[in-house]
Structure 1
Amino acid sequence: MYPRRLPLRAGSVRCAAACRPRRGDGERPRTTRPVRNPRLLCWPPRSPRLPRTVIPDIPALKRFVGHEFDPSPWVLVDQARIDDFARATGDEQWIHCDPERARRESPFGTTIAHGNLTLSLAPYLLNQCVEVRGVRLVVNPGIEHVRLRAPVRVGSRVRLRGSLIAVRELKGGAARATFRCAIEVEGETRPAAFGDFHVVYYP
């Protein structure tokens, strides 16, 4: 369920718009400068997103064990993202970086994302699903039971769906949470990847 609309706060944009005198109330109509390129106002385009689950603090993590979170927004995997990852890792194989050759010779018919690129999106996507408050530092110590099940073709959109399956308390009030996650490809029945992602939260 989406959160209810919050009341107007003094000084907010919505409040200023609501409190501005209308025409006929003694205020001269304002002239606005036309925008040359209206597309710039909404760039980059935003994907519709579900509300992120908010966990109030680290001790509260245990109350969410077994809870499945709403999926993350979709993220585009374009050729620029693939090329950047290839340069960063040195893995510039043609199935990732040569669209013309991939179109001719690859069984996938186009370039595909590196499997490790798909997995590397997990921390960002998970953060779009879950927010733990009262945290000073977050560390991702590893992934277990990883499987890469389907290719992510260039131009595809991916998202993460997951649940919290375990929480272990650590020294100093920290905790290690384990999320069982699947990275889905839009329009595909099989996930691109899945595994158990460990995240350590430090207060």
Structure 2
Amino acid sequence: MSKVIIKSYADLQAYEGQEIGVSEYHTITQEQISLFADATLDHQWIHLDAERAQTESPFGNTIAHGYLTVSLLPYLWGQIISIENLKMQVNYEIESLRFNQAVVVNSDVRLRVKLLSAKDLRGVIKAQLEVTMEIKDSRKPAFTGVITFLYHFNG
């Protein structure tokens, strides 16, 4: 898959209103879920106890933390786009986010992104993105939402 290459505000603005792309699939493993639980101190059994999840959970297995799936946004976005001539990217806003379906352990997820708008705020580019995290072989996405990144280009 080839990435969209952006070198300036004008390059980014050209994609306004369009789908920019779709990432590769990423498998969410139990190890990743467990490490996220340790990092966030969220050790709820639905994420970590496979035996209990098989008998008590409506999902039949452990599931990824919703915020784990959200935390994959920059990684998966980086598979879709290469922003060059960049000094810094900042996570700015999650305007809306809806968790539509749990991501069961060992599921494959990918990100689909549409650029809603790109605005130049005195040299800082505010990019609003419509994001959908798809789950392989599922009609319902893990989440949908609108997020905003700020891009500080060099010079």
Alignment coverage as a number of residue pairs: 153
Q: Secondary structure at the match of 1:125?
A: helix
Match for residue 157 of structure 1? 108
Aligned partner (choices 126, 130, 137) of residue 77 of structure 2: 126
Q: Does 1:100 align with 2:66?
A: no
CA drift at 1:58: 2.8
Query: Does the CA-based 8 Å contact 1:70-1:161 persist in structure 2?
Result: yes
Aligned partner (choices 186, 190, 193) of residue 140 of structure 2: 190
Give the structure-1-normalised TM-score: 0.73
Q: Within 1, Cα distance between the matches of 2:146 and 2:74? A: 12
Match for residue 98 of structure 2? 147
Deviations 1:28-77 (CA, angstroms, capped at 9, x unpaired):
xxxxxxxxxxxxxxxxxxxxxx2111122233221110121221011110
Give the structure, 1 or 2, with the largest relative contact order (CA under 8 Å, sep 6 or more): 2
Deviations 1:72-114 (CA, angstroms, capped at 9, x unpaired):
0111100000001101111100000111111111111000001
Q: Secondary structure at the match of 1:182?
A: strand
Point out the structure with max Rg over C-alpha: 1
Give the structure-2-normalised TM-score: 0.95
Q: Which runs of 5+ in 1 are unaligned?
A: 1-49
**Bigger strand fraction:** 2
Identical amino acids, percent of aligned pairs: 39
Once superposed, what is the RMSD of the aligned Cα atoms? 1.0
Aligned partner (choices 109, 113, 116) of residue 64 of structure 2: 113
